[in-house]
Structure 1
Amino acid sequence: ETWTGIWSPWPKTPDTMSDVGGDTNLASVRSRAAETLTALEATSIPDDHWSWIRKSMFPLPTPPSPLWSPTDRTRYFDANGFLHVRAFVSPQVVEEMKNEMRRLAEELWNPGEEGKTRVFRTDEGQVEAQGSDDYFLDSADRVHFFAEKDAIDEDGKLREEFRGDKIAALNKAGHGMHVRPGAFHDYAISREVGSLVRELGWVDPVIPQSMYIFKQARVGGEVTSHQDSTFLFTEPHQTCLGLWLALDDSNLENGCLWVRPGSHREPVRRKFARNPEHFGGDRSAPKMVFENIASSENLRKVPWDGTLPDGSDPPCCDGLFQAGFVPVECKAGDLLAFPGELDHLSLPNRSGKPRHTFQLHLVEGPEAGVKWAES
């Protein structure tokens, strides 16, 4: 197992470059990304170590503390807001997860049945699509399925081209994948996951949510700029940890993750919260809404929250770089770990290759003095 925030430029991958503007543009984006990531790696991290999860300074101990001592990986994670661990799981684990997901979808998802065809959105239609949908809101301890908006026709049915392969229409499955016995559960309680989470400084980690993201070839939608703590809000401080496991090679062609280094030090801007209008008696109002909780000054600094920065489009993605984002390409089996306040997104997948991922979200539990926000 190795890690990087950077290092070598990614290997050239065969692709259909007409989708993103040609080899020259792709090479330019990769070069800019490598320059940014290399600079992060070269930046000296002060000996006084700031722990994101513990919200305090930790001078590097000499000799190491018998309880917890930050490693080089921990220091990089806390300084920059993400950690790329290469070959975190074996190819066998990757295949087991993909096979189990296909089996679950074949057995449990029947998009022709009333109430089963739901679309998942992260754009301006998110509150309408998910804010009052019990199928979405009741999925915490089970496996529910959500389709890509471009795979559903105006009548809410699968478009004809997906009827022979319904799985190709899926956006995601969640949010209790880790609850069911099988490959996802085994991974969630694995030594590898537990060891990394402890290394990063979590004391009483619990798993409230897991999901499988398909990012399908050609119809895989964008995931707009967001902070995971918007949806997994804890008190008295934020403790969400995202573990983003690549099950396919994830690259510029098929919609890899873009992160904004250092943004994990910014406050949470929005909270997905219970709507007082609905629970006050107006049943026509959505159950859940986005509540702005940051100062107006902080909101002005990130005008793209919930959308994409202007100029994000391939092939050049200039707007993303100008806003401070950088793409992190991964091989199947690689892991990206990042705190819940990190700003991140991904672009649509218009390539001929899918980009499957399995994602765990953890938060600190009561033994760490942390609780869910009441709203």
Structure 2
Amino acid sequence: MHDTIRNQLEQDGYVVLQDFLRPAECDELIAAGLELTKNAADSDKRAIFSTTESGKQQHKDEYFLGSNDKIRHFFEEAAIGPDGKLQVDASVSLNKVGHALHLLHPIFRCYTYSDRVKTVCQELGFKEPSVVQSMYIYKNPGIGGEVTAHQDATYLYTEPVPPVGFWIALEDATIQNGCLWMARGSHKSGVHRRLTRNPDKESKEALIYDRPAALYPQSSFTPIPVPKGTCVLIHGNVVHKSAHNRSDKSRHAYTFHVIEKHNNQYSADNWLQEGENAPFLNLYTTPQLM
């Protein structure tokens, strides 16, 4: 099993692990995710999350940069009107909640630091794995925005060992409701672009890209529809994306990123850095209970 998962990740850039969570466990996480939406209507900072050009405002927003050690709400573009008010019910207005669910929320912490996650990290050969960020992704019906083609290492750069994402489908992920699309083998071409903290403190741009976005042909991508409870392991350098959810079914997912801390460097100019309430703890030795 060790060689199978590790070799497949190195060969394809991703691994599909079905039945990673049982249906009842997915339902428990969905209930927790829906509970988080109850605070959305009263949020005084309606930060929009988008990976398209119109979403650049997030890079200037301290609300985003300060989410490393907090649990914060990020809205869909289509959910907010010109006046800043919600145009849809709060329960379906969010793009995601992040980025320290894995440490600060008891239910998400329990699943993140579970034995099954530790076993996968052992099979991947991690010596000192650490979870650096976590997100609950809603992909709500009709307004769930696209995630443009990208590499996770663009945002969470480590050297020489790249990060690994754990992407867990809490509902069936289909082509219609915005499943993942992978460019198999693209991780072998290195990191194509980086987003870093701007060294120019006078600039209005808190974060900057080091080069223009790469263009990827549609033929490079393969859809990865998966049933509820599936975990997709994502190599930090593999190019992946997801489409707009134009269906009438949501596509909730829980995702977090693991880095190797042993003989590996987490870049000091990544947007996300260790926070007072969310240090990069060893996954093997961190308890599930708060």
Q: TM-score, normalised on structure 2?
A: 0.88
Q: Name the counterpart of 1:292.
A: 211
| Greater than 3 Å deviation, 4+ residue runs | none
1:271 CA drift (Å): 1.2
Q: List per-residue Cα deviations over 1:142-183 (Å, max 9, x = no partner).
A: 110011101111111111xx1xx3020111100011112422
Q: Name the counterpart of 2:229.
A: 333
Q: Name the counterpart of 1:144.
A: 72
Residue 42 (structure 2) pairs with residue 118 (structure 1)? no
Paired residues of 1:229 and 1:238 also in contact (CA < 8 A): no
Q: Name the counterpart of 2:174.
A: 251
Q: Name the counterpart of 2:36.
A: 104
Quick one: which of 142, 155, 161 aligns to 1:231? Answer: 155
1:263 CA drift (Å): 0.6
Q: Give the partner amino acid of 1:287.
A: A
1:91 CA drift (Å): 1.1
2: distance between equivalents of 1:208 and 1:74?
A: 21
Specify every segment of 5 or more residues in structure 2 that has no aligned partner in the other structure, as ranges: 270-290
1:1-375 correspondence runs (5 A): 70-106=2-38, 108-111=39-42, 113-114=43-44, 116-126=45-55, 128-159=56-87, 162=88, 165-235=89-159, 237-277=160-200, 279=201, 281-282=202-203, 285-292=204-211, 302-304=214-216, 309=217, 320=218, 322=219, 324-365=220-261, 368-375=262-269
Paired residues of 1:248 and 1:331 also in contact (CA < 8 A): yes
Q: Name the counterpart of 1:18.
A: none
SS in 2 for 1:71: helix
Paired residues of 1:88 and 1:335 also in contact (CA < 8 A): yes
SS in 2 for 1:131: helix
Q: Give the partner amino acid of 1:129.
A: Q
Specify every segment of 5 or more residues in structure 1 that has no aligned partner in the other structure, as ranges: 1-68, 294-298, 310-319
Q: List per-residue Cα deviations over 1:84-104 (Å, max 9, x = no partner).
A: 011101112101111112222
2: distance between equivalents of 1:121 and 1:258?
A: 18
Q: Looking at both structures, which has the greater relative contact order when contacts are Cα pairs under 8 Å and sequence separation is at least 6?
A: 2
Paired residues of 1:222 and 1:349 also in contact (CA < 8 A): yes
The CA RMSD over aligned residues, in Å, is 1.6
2: distance between equivalents of 1:96 and 1:248?
A: 12
Q: Give the partner amino acid of 1:370.
A: N
In terms of mean alpha carbon deviation, does 331-340 or 175-184 score higher? 175-184
Paired residues of 1:121 and 1:129 also in contact (CA < 8 A): no
SS in 2 for 1:89: coil
Q: Which has the larger radius of gyration?
A: 1
Paired residues of 1:142 and 1:179 also in contact (CA < 8 A): no
The 3 A distance-change label for structure 1 pair 181 and 143 is closer
SS in 1 for 2:60: coil
1: distance between equivalents of 2:106 and 2:268?
A: 32
1:70 CA drift (Å): 4.2
SS in 2 for 1:140: helix
